[in-house]
C-alpha cells in the first residue's frame, strides 16, 4: 500500500513538475475560444510611438505570436525596412516550442539584410532586415522586439491588432508619448472607449488596449477590413521631412506641403519648349493640344521608379525627365504638367491610392494615404485625367487602377479632394455575336465577334499591348470556357478613345461540343458567355454585401444544326430580376438555325447581410440557365446515313 502511494505521489509530482516547466507562452495557456477558426494567436503586443520633436520619433514593437498550423505561417517571418530616414536601432527574436520552452534566438546582426528595391525600380535606397526560424513543428511561438528611430514625422504607424482574417488576440496595446502641448490626431474604428491619457514626467501618454478578440472569418463580398475589426489610425499636425515642413490638419494644408516639394521643378529645356510650341501653336482646341502632348509624353518617356532620400515624395525635375526619357509616377506627372504649362494649359498634380479594388481612403482624416500620382486637367465643361506612367492608355481613361476614388488635387493654394470618374453599367459592356455550325460528330465551328468597352476591356488592353502574338494565342488556348478547342484565327482592333473599345474576332474549332447519345445530340446554346459565380448559402451571414463592379453583357448566338437533325427540346426561357442584377436568356428555332439571346447586368452597391442568400439564389439561377441544354434528334428517315 505504501509502495502504491509512493508511485502515485511520484506521478503527481512529475505532473506538477511538468506544468511548472511550461513557459509563459505555452500553447496550453491559450483560451479555447481563441483557437476557434484561428491559424495564429497574438499572445502579446505592445506598441509605442514617442514623438520627440518635428524631426524625430522612436517606435517600439514587442509582439508574441503562436503559429497553430501551416496556414499561420504568414505571421511567422520578421520583416522591417529601413532607409535614410528610418533606422532599425535594435531587434531580437525568440522561438518557443509548444510548451513555451526557448529553442532559438536571434539578434539584429544575424538577420538577413537585403535590398528593398522592387523590379520596377532603377535605384532605391530601401533595405530590409528579415528573418524566419523556418520551424515547421506546429504549434510553436515566435517573439520579436524591435526599436526603430525615424528622422521624419510625416508617417505615423497605425494600430490594428488583427491585421487580417485567421488570427485571434489575447492582448494588444498602443500608446503615443509626446510633449503635453503636442497635438497629434487619431481616428478609431470599432473602438468605443476613449483612450486613457496620463501625464508622466511632463510627457503626455495616450493609450489604447484590447483583450480577447476571437478570429474573424472574412466573408465573400464583405466590407473593408477596418469595418470588421479594431483599428486606430494616427496622423501628425505639424511635421517635417528633411528640410521640408508641413501641416496635416486639413487636406488643404497637406496639399501645400506636396506643392512645396515640386515647386520650381517644372522648368523645361529649350529644345522641349520648342517642341511643345511646334506641336500646339496654331491649334485652338484645348483637347487636341492635350492629346498631342500626351502622345508626345507616351512616345518619348517610360516608367522607372527611382526612390532616393525624399525621392519617394519629391518629383525629379522636368529637365531630368527630358534628358533621361524616364521617371517614376511623380516625375512623369510633373513632366506632363510642365508640358501643358508651356502650352498655356492649367493642370493639377493629383495624389491617389492606386490599385484595382484598393482605392479606399479615410476622407475625413487628412493624412498620407496615397501611393501614386496622376494628372487632372480641368476644362470648361469637362475634366481630362491622365495616367502618365502608361505608354498605351488613351487620353482621359483611368482604368480600374485609379477610377472611382478620391484624388487630392494640388496647387499653390493647397489640396482638395475630388472623385475620379466611375465607369458603370453603360460603360462596362461586352456585346458579342456568335455564328456557329455544328456537325453530326459534335464538333462546333465558332466565329465570335465581341465589342468590349470600359473596364471590360482592361485585361485585353494589357494583354495585346504587352504580349507577343504567340503569347496572346497561348493565353486564348487556355482561357476560353471549352473542354477541347483550337484557336484557328484571332484578331484585335483597339479604339483608344476616352471610353476605350477593343474589338475581338475569334475563329474556334470546339471538339466534342455536343454530347452524343444514340440518335441525340445534347448541346448548350449559350456558347461563349457563362457566369462562374457560385457563392455558397450562409444563414449566419454577419456583414453587408459589397459589390463594386457594374457591367452589362449582351450575347446573340446563331447555331446552324447538322442536316438530318431536328430540335427535340429547347431550354426554357429564363428571366431573373434581383437587386443584384437582371438576367434573361431565350432560345428558339428558326428553320435549321437555333438562336439564343442572353443579357446579364450586374449592379454595384452595398446590400444588407440579410440579403446575402438572395444573391446566392440569383447567381445560382444564372449559373444553371447559362448551362441549360437543348436536344437535337436525328430524323428516322436519315437514320443510318
Last residue of a domain, one of 393, 419, 445: 419
Measured CA distances, 136 to 132, 141, 422 (Å): 11, 11, 47
3-state secondary structure of 452: strand
Is the domain of 178 the same as that of 264? no
pLDDT recorded at residue 21: 62
pLDDT at 499: 97
Instruction: List, as one string, the DSSP characters of 214-281.
Output: PPPPPPTT---GGGTS-EEEEE-SEEEETTEEEE-SSHHHHHHHHHHHHTT--PPPHHHHHHHHHHHT
- pLDDT of 640 reads 47
Q: How far is CA 158 from CA 90, 105, 155, 187, 213, in A?
A: 21, 28, 10, 10, 18
What are the residues whose beta carbons fall under 8 Å from the beta carbon of 405, sequence distance 6 or more? 352, 353, 359, 360, 361, 419, 420
In a domain, 207, yes or no: yes
SS3 of 549-612: the string is: CCEEEEEEEEEECCCCEEEEECCCCEEEEECCEEEEEEEEEECCEEEEEEEEEECCEEECHHHH
The reply to whether 405 and 301 lie within a common domain is yes
Give 209-212 contacts, CB < 8 A, sequence gap 24+: 209/171, 209/172, 209/173, 209/174, 210/161, 210/169, 210/171, 210/172, 210/173, 211/169, 211/170, 211/171, 212/31, 212/33, 212/34, 212/169, 212/170, 212/171
Whether 276 and 225 share a structural domain: no
Kindly state whether residues 511 and 606 are assigned to the same domain: yes
510 with 573, same domain? yes
The pLDDT, as a whole number, for residue 225 is: 96
Residue 159 DSSP label: B
Q: What is the pLDDT of residues 536-570, one digit of tens each?
A: 999 999 999 999 999 999 999 999 999 999 999 99
Instruction: Give the CATH number for residue 83.
Output: 2.60.40.3140
Residues 388 and 466 in one domain: no
Is residue 11 in some structural domain? Answer: no
Asked whether residue 46 falls in the same domain as residue 142, the answer is: yes
Kindly compute the dihedral angle of the four CA atoms of residues 457, 461, 463, 464, in this order, to the nearest 10 degrees: 120
Instruction: Give yes or no for residue 169 having a pLDDT over 50.
Output: yes
Domain that residue 56 falls in: 27-238
User: Over 70: is that where the pLDDT of 311 sits?
Assistant: no
Helices (H), 285-342: 286-300, 318-324, 329-342
> Do 348 and 460 sit in the same domain of this protein?
no
Instruction: From 567, 602, 570, 568, select the one nearest 586 (Cα to Cα).
Output: 570
Q: Is residue 227 part of a domain?
A: yes
Residue 4 located in a structural domain:
no
d(CA 413, CA 13): 76
pLDDT of residue 54: 86
Give the per-residue pLDDT at 126: 77
The answer to whether 444 and 516 are in contact (CB under 8 A) is: no
State the average pLDDT over residues 166-177: 98
- In the chain, the N- to C-terminal Cα span, in Å, equals 97
Give yes or no for a contact between 32 and 209, defined as CB atoms under 8 angstroms apart: no
**What phi, psi does 464 have (nearest 5°)?**
-75, -20
**What is the share, in percent, of the chain residues with pLDDT greater than 70?**
93
Q: What is the pLDDT of residue 348?
A: 98
pLDDT at 159 over 90: yes
Burial string for 488-511 (b: 16+ CB within 10 Å, else e) reads eebebebeeeebbbbebebebebe
Stretch 623-641: mean pLDDT, rounded? 82
The span from the CA of 239 to the CA of 204, in Å, is 18
Lowest mean per-residue pLDDT among 11-20, 29-38, 525-534: 11-20
Cis peptide before 139 (omega within 30 of 0): yes
Average pLDDT, the chain: 92
- Looking at the structure, tell me whether residues 149 and 225 fall in a common domain: yes
Total domain count, the chain: 3
Predicted local confidence at residue 8, as pLDDT = 35
Please write the tens of the pLDDT for every residue from 183-221: 899 999 999 999 999 999 899 999 999 999 999 999 999
Please report which confidence band the pLDDT of residue 124 belongs to, taking 50, 70 and 90 as the band edges. Answer: low
Chain centre distance of CA 91:
31
pLDDT, one tens digit per residue, over 234-245 is: 999 999 988 899
> Does 397 map to a domain?
yes
Please tell me the predicted confidence (pLDDT) of residue 636. 73
Q: In this structure, are residues 602 and 614 in contact, taking their beta carbons and an 8 Å threshold? A: no
State the Cα angle at 73 between 72 and 74, rounded to 5°. 90
Q: Are 508 and 436 in contact (CB under 8 A)?
A: no
Are the beta carbons of 127 and 115 closer than 8 angstroms?
yes
Task: Classify 63 as helix, strand or coil.
Answer: strand
* Mode of pairing for the β-strands spanning 121-124 and 305-307: parallel
Tens of pLDDT, residue by residue over 51-65, are: 998 889 999 999 999
Do residues 411 and 508 both lie within one domain? no
Same domain, 473 and 381: no
Please tell me the total number of residues recorded for the chain in this structure.
641
The pLDDT of residue 607 is above 90: yes
Q: Give CA angle at 144 (20, 78), nearest 5°.
A: 135
Q: How far are the Cα atoms of 237, 441, 538 from residue 613, in angstroms, in the given order?
A: 46, 42, 7
CATH number (domain holding residue 296)? 3.10.620.30
| pTM (predicted TM-score) | 0.89
10 falls in which pLDDT band (50, 70, 90)? Answer: very low
Phi, psi of 372 (to 5 degrees): -155, 165
Last residue of a domain, one of 238, 267, 286: 238
Residue-wise pLDDT tens digits, 331-370: 999 999 999 999 999 999 999 999 988 889 999 999 999 9
180, 152 contact by CB (below 8 A): no
Predicted confidence band at 312 (pLDDT cuts at 50, 70, 90)? confident
Cell numbers of 538, please? 450562409
Same structural domain, 287 and 223: no
1, pLDDT greater than 60:
no
Q: For residue 18, is it within any domain? A: no
Q: What is the pLDDT of residue 84?
A: 86
Listed residues 223, 238, 253: the one ending a domain: 238
CB 513 within 8 A of CB 599: no
The reported pLDDT for the residue numbered 17 is 37
In a domain, 22, yes or no: no
Average pLDDT of span 319-326: 96
Contact 332, 303 (CB under 8 A): yes
Query: Mean per-residue pLDDT for 523-540?
Result: 96
- Domain of 570: which CATH number? 2.60.120.1130
What confidence tens digit (pLDDT) does each residue in 260-288 have?
Answer: 999 999 999 999 999 999 999 999 999 99
Is 6 part of any domain?
no
Q: Which residue, 234, 230, 159, 163, is CA-closest to 193? A: 230
Q: Which one, of 469, 457, 550, lies nearest residue 504 by Cα?
A: 457
> How many C-beta atoms lie closer than 10 Å to residue 274's C-beta?
12
Residue 529 pLDDT: 96
pLDDT over 60 (residue 152): yes
Amino acid at each position: 500500500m505504501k509502495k502504491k502511494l509512493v508511485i502515485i505521489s511520484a506521478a503527481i509530482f512529475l505532473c506538477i513538475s511538468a506544468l511548472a516547466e511550461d513557459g509563459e507562452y505555452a500553447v496550453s495557456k491559450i483560451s479555447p475560444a481563441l483557437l476557434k477558426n484561428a491559424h495564429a494567436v497574438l499572445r502579446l503586443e505592445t506598441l509605442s510611438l514617442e514623438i520627440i520633436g518635428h524631426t524625430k520619433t522612436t517606435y517600439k514593437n514587442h509582439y508574441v505570436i503562436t503559429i497553430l498550423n501551416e496556414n499561420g505561417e504568414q505571421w511567422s517571418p520578421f520583416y522591417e525596412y529601413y532607409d535614410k530616414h528610418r533606422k532599425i536601432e535594435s531587434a531580437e527574436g525568440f522561438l518557443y516550442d509548444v510548451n513555451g520552452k526557448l529553442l532559438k534566438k536571434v539578434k539584429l546582426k544575424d538577420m538577413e539584410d537585403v535590398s528593398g528595391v522592387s523590379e520596377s525600380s532603377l535605384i532605391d535606397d530601401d533595405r530590409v532586415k528579415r528573418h524566419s526560424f523556418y520551424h515547421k513543428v506546429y504549434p510553436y511561438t515566435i517573439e520579436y522586439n524591435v526599436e526603430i528611430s525615424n528622422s521624419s514625422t510625416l508617417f505615423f504607424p497605425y494600430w490594428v491588432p488583427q491585421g487580417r482574417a485567421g488570427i485571434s488576440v489575447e492582448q494588444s496595446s498602443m500608446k503615443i508619448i509626446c510633449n503635453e502641448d503636442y497635438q497629434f490626431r487619431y481616428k478609431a474604428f470599432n473602438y468605443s472607449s476613449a483612450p486613457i491619457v496620463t501625464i508622466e514626467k511632463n510627457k503626455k501618454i495616450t493609450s489604447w488596449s484590447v483583450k480577447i478578440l476571437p478570429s474573424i472569418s472574412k466573408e465573400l463580398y464583405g466590407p473593408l477590413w477596418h469595418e470588421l475589426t479594431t483599428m486606430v489610425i494616427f496622423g501628425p499636425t505639424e511635421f517635417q521631412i528633411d528640410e521640408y515642413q508641413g501641416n496635416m490638419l486639413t487636406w488643404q494644408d497637406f496639399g501645400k506641403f506636396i506643392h512645396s516639394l515640386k515647386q520650381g521643378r517644372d522648368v523645361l529645356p529649350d529644345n522641349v519648349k520648342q517642341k511643345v510650341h511646334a506641336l500646339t501653336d496654331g491649334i485652338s482646341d484645348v483637347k487636341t493640344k492635350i492629346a498631342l502632348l500626351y502622345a508626345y509624353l507616351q512616345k518619348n518617356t517610360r516608367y522607372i521608379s527611382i526612390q532616393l532620400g525624399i525621392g519617394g515624395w519629391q518629383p525629379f525635375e522636368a529637365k531630368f525627365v527630358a534628358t533621361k526619357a524616364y521617371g517614376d509616377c511623380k516625375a512623369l506627372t510633373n513632366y506632363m504638367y510642365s508640358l501643358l504649362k508651356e502650352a498655356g494649359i492649367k493642370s493639377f498634380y493629383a495624389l491617389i491610392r492606386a490599385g484595382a479594388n484598393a482605392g479606399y481612403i479615410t476622407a475625413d482624416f487628412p493624412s498620407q494615404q496615397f501611393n501614386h500620382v496622376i494628372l487632372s486637367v480641368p476644362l470648361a465643361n469637362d475634366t481630362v485625367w491622365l495616367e502618365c506612367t502608361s505608354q498605351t492608355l488613351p487620353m482621359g481613361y483611368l482604368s480600374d487602377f485609379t477610377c472611382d476614388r478620391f484624388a487630392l488635387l494640388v496647387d499653390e493654394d493647397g489640396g482638395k479632394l475630388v472623385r475620379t470618374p466611375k465607369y458603370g453599367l453603360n460603360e462596362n459592356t461586352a456585346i458579342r455575336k456568335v455564328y456557329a455550325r455544328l456537325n453530326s460528330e459534335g464538333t462546333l465551328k465558332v466565329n465570335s465577334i465581341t465589342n468590349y468597352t470600359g473596364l471590360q476591356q482592361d485585361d485585353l488592353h494589357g494583354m495585346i499591348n504587352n504580349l507577343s502574338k504567340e503569347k496572346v494565342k497561348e493565353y486564348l488556348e487556355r482561357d476560353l470556357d471549352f473542354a477541347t478547342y483550337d484557336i484557328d484565327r484571332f484578331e484585335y482592333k483597339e479604339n483608344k478613345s476616352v471610353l476605350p473599345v477593343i474589338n475581338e474576332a475569334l475563329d474556334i474549332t470546339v471538339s466534342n461540343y455536343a454530347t452524343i447519345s444514340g440518335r441525340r445530340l445534347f448541346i448548350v446554346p449559350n456558347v461563349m458567355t457563362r457566369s462562374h459565380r457560385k457563392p455558397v448559402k450562409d444563414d449566419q451571414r454577419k456583414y453587408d454585401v459589397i459589390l463594386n463592379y457594374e457591367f452589362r453583357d449582351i450575347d446573340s448566338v446563331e447555331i446552324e444544326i447538322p442536316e438530318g437533325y431536328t430540335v427535340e427540346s429547347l431550354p426554357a426561357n429564363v428571366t431573373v430580376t434581383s437587386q443584384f442584377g437582371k438576367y434573361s436568356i431565350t432560345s428558339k428555332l428558326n428553320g435549321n438555325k437555333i438562336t439564343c439571346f442572353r443579357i446579364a447586368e450586374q449592379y454595384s452597391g452595398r446590400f444588407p447581410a440579410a440579403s446575402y442568400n438572395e444573391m446566392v439564389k440569383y447567381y445560382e439561377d444564372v449559373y444553371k440557365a447559362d448551362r441549360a441544354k437543348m436536344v437535337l434528334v436525328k430524323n428516322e428517315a436519315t437514320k443510318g446515313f
